[in-house]
Structure 1
Amino acid sequence: MSIPTPPATPPGPTPHTTSPVRTPPRTQLSTPPPRFVTHIDDAAIASLRAYYAQVLPPVVSQTGPSPRILDLCSSWTSHFPSRIYDAVGKGEVEVWGLGMNARELERNPVFRDGGGWGVWDLNREGKGDVGVAVKATILKTVRGSGGEVEVGSPSPSTQPQHQEAGKEQGDTPPLLDATTCVVSTDYLTQPLSVFSSLLRLTKPGGSVHLTISNRCFPTKAIARWLRVDEEERLQMVGDYLFFAGWKRIEIVELSDGRVRGSDGDGSGEGEGEQGGLGAFMRALGMDAGRRDPLWVVRGVKE
């Protein structure tokens, strides 16, 4: 089955609501056992990797700082393209991860060289600040080029929001160039705290990329996620970013969920699905012409 190079449609502005985003009700907070599975299908993963290859920070010149990517709500795989893994191994890109399960995170190859990960539950009361999470976990072991990186707690706008330990006030510590989060935004119970604190950690011009599908664990997703349709979910995630202070918010469709034939009609013809496996799947009542739909809601810090 061929996979179109994403984005499948041009991005457009997110339609924001006028009412403030309210903190969703709390959900089940227990940490599940490790699960070494993927939560979107192979076609969606391939589309996401192709998208990341287009938008994530490129390898910079050796005279500049290495870009840094944070994978939020991470697990044993991050779906990055091979160039990111190669750059991490060469020390040209640094990737950090925050997740819920240590056994999953330690299996992720992108954190093994030149990066770091931390276990943190962003849904716990008072734990929705990404800067505090990074400082309490990753920054205990990861060192920047000028010594240990420190990120201060949130402070009034008249005070510096980030400061490196042992440095004079005014020195700028390394911050994030990009953040990714794959099919996990629907579980966040403190989204405004998470995304406003993430904005403070991000360099001007840095970006956030929130991948959304139609799959979820119903017992863990916030209540409103289960009540609204896919379009309203995308709008809600866009509102999270908007009210957290992000700019240039867009929705990118990577897949509408249909498998298209060579003529682009969505029939699946020309893809080897009309006989053999495709016929067998249809005999079982399974739609061989469907794949996981996938979108990215993204924003930029200006």
Structure 2
Amino acid sequence: MIEDVLGEAIDAPLSRGMQAEVEFTVRWSSDEASHEERYLARKVDPHRDFFPPGMDAPLKGAEVGTTSTGDYIPGKVVPGQRPRKIATLDRGCFKPMKIGGRTVEPVSGRFYPYQLLGSHPGIRTTDVRPAFRVVDVRGSEVKVDFNHPLAARHLAVEARLVKVYDRRSRGKLPDWMEEICMNGPGMQARTGGLRTKFDVDYALQRQDEDDSGFYAQPRQVDHVDKTALRLIREEYTKRLSTGAKVLDLMSSKQSHLPEDMDLAVTGLGMNVEELGANTLLMERLVHDLNAEPALPFGDASFDNVVNSLSVEYLTNPRAVTAEVLRVLRPGGQFMVSFSNRWFPEKVTALWTELHDFERMGLVLDYLLEAGFKDCWTVSIRNHWRPKDDPHFANTWDSDPVFVVGGVKTNS
């Protein structure tokens, strides 16, 4: 159990030798969006662990709720940009790899595991580094970038003390910025302002193309654990106004929306029984977006539109996103959330190939190309899975949460 690892949480300052939970938030910006990465660090000891410069001192001896902040120039807390880490290689350096029966080929803007460069001098086939980025593909040559995805970014970091445990520190002394940023943050941004090539020919193919048959039976299940559901709801709540008219796109038995804001929620989904079980809905419509991407609503009908845990099933996501822009009122937001769980037979092929953070980049691309402005992404990782969750025996980690949003402007 969790208590066996950390002990009981106590109401006391974080003194030397104790451990803590600290939620780190890393904020940064790309040319196309603002970004926020939230990560719950466990077994933290600011007297021993490696923190961003200056951020450990305010947490030593601090009470729960104390916050420490820092702003860092590029290269200060993650490895900085190095021109020598950008190279042009022969395309033959890429080892063939198959996913879902398809041979993976290098594509501009995408990330790939180091193992695919096993035939290139200096790269080991057992290299565990997460990924490198393909910048460009031209004929027999591939330009690649081995720099950290955040190497050129200014980072604003916040650390908030969440819990204190009366337990002696032991084991490794983690570098918390490396822990948070080593595998994902930064991958959702475009490289050099150029669009990532997501629209490959097989991108939207699925194992099962029969939606009417698959969704005929109601599935009254939660698609992520309760911690993840709460975190999604919190992100939506931050950006909603009391009494707002909201469209819950691809809705089911729950809308992942707050129940105390007097929202007027319309649910559009595939199964009438699932929609009927959703007590938050004021209006319910059965509509297959894969068969007909056009939304059955007039222009500027909604203050906000949300799509929860379903974007990976859309076979014409760009048309649907354009429709969302149409039915939103100026100033309204479209918010898309997802995790790393899905129905294997219904998920689109490209989705299964992408890294979690690349998926945020894909959804962000949908919004940007449709015309959304003031776009943003949020990732929330490493929170505790509820003890009563059926998967708790397999993992203590809650399902990760990723949210992408954008605003319909007046222009």
How does the TM-score come out when normalised to structure 2?
0.49
The alpha-carbon deviation at position 76 of structure 1 amounts to: 1.0
- Look up the SS of the partner of 1:82 in the other structure: coil
Give the match for residue 48 of structure 2: none
Give the match for residue 296 of structure 1: 403
Amino acid of the structure 1 residue aligned with 2:407 = V
Give the match for residue 289 of structure 2: 122
- Separation in 1 of the partners of 2:311 and 2:276? 22
Amino acid of the structure 2 residue aligned with 1:287 = T
1:182-261 correspondence runs (5 A): 182-253=308-379, 255-259=380-384
Which structure carries more helix by proportion? 1
| Equivalent residue pairs, number | 222
- Separation in 1 of the partners of 2:294 and 2:189? 26
Are 1:99 and 2:269 an aligned pair? yes
The alpha-carbon deviation at position 49 of structure 1 amounts to: 2.0
Give the match for residue 258 of structure 2: 81
- Look up the SS of the partner of 2:214 in the other structure: coil
1:116-195 correspondence runs (5 A): 116-124=283-291, 127-130=292-295, 134-135=296-297, 151=298, 162=299, 175-195=301-321
- Look up the SS of the partner of 1:83 in the other structure: coil
- Separation in 2 of the partners of 1:117 and 1:206? 21
The alpha-carbon deviation at position 57 of structure 1 amounts to: 2.1
Give the greater-gyration-radius structure (CA). Answer: 2
Check conservation: 1:207, 1:301, Cα contact below 8 A.
Answer: yes
How does the TM-score come out when normalised to structure 1?
0.66
Give the match for residue 287 of structure 1: 395
Give the match for residue 15 of structure 1: 189
Check conservation: 2:236, 2:335, Cα contact below 8 A.
Answer: no
Give deviations 1:210-244, integer Å, cap 9, x for gaps.
00101111110110001111111111111011111
**Identical aligned pairs, as a percentage?**
31
- Separation in 2 of the partners of 1:7 and 1:34? 39
- Separation in 1 of the partners of 2:338 and 2:25? 15
- Separation in 2 of the partners of 1:197 and 1:40? 27
- Separation in 2 of the partners of 1:223 and 1:175? 33
Are 1:40 and 2:224 an aligned pair? yes
Give the match for residue 214 of structure 2: 31
- Look up the SS of the partner of 2:377 in the other structure: strand
- Separation in 2 of the partners of 1:213 and 1:73? 15
- Separation in 2 of the partners of 1:247 and 1:7? 27
Amino acid of the structure 2 residue aligned with 1:118 = L
The alpha-carbon deviation at position 9 of structure 1 amounts to: 4.7
Amino acid of the structure 2 residue aligned with 1:116 = E
Give deviations 1:37-59, integer Å, cap 9, x for gaps.
10010111111222222211223
Distance 1:9 1:230, change over 3 A: same
- Separation in 1 of the partners of 2:240 and 2:195? 31
Amino acid of the structure 1 residue aligned with 2:214 = T
The alpha-carbon deviation at position 19 of structure 1 amounts to: 5.2
Q: Which stretches in structure 2 are left out of the alignment for 5+ residues?
A: 3-8, 10-20, 34-187
The alpha-carbon deviation at position 10 of structure 1 amounts to: 3.9
- Separation in 1 of the partners of 2:274 and 2:401? 23
- Separation in 1 of the partners of 2:322 and 2:197? 14
- Separation in 1 of the partners of 2:225 and 2:361? 24
The alpha-carbon deviation at position 20 of structure 1 amounts to: 6.4
The alpha-carbon deviation at position 8 of structure 1 amounts to: 5.1
- Separation in 2 of the partners of 1:219 and 1:239? 24
Distance 1:68 1:76, change over 3 A: same
Amino acid of the structure 1 residue aligned with 2:221 = V
Are 1:69 and 2:246 an aligned pair? yes
Q: For CA contacts below 8 A with separation 6 or more, give which structure has more relative contact order.
A: 1
Segments of 4+ moved more than 6 angstroms: none
Check conservation: 1:76, 1:105, Cα contact below 8 A.
Answer: yes
Amino acid of the structure 1 residue aligned with 2:250 = C
Amino acid of the structure 2 residue aligned with 1:257 = N
The alpha-carbon deviation at position 15 of structure 1 amounts to: 1.9
Give deviations 1:62-120, integer Å, cap 9, x for gaps.
xxxxx310000000111222213xx1xxxxx3111110000110111112xxx211001
- Separation in 1 of the partners of 2:249 and 2:328? 13
Distance 1:75 1:256, change over 3 A: same
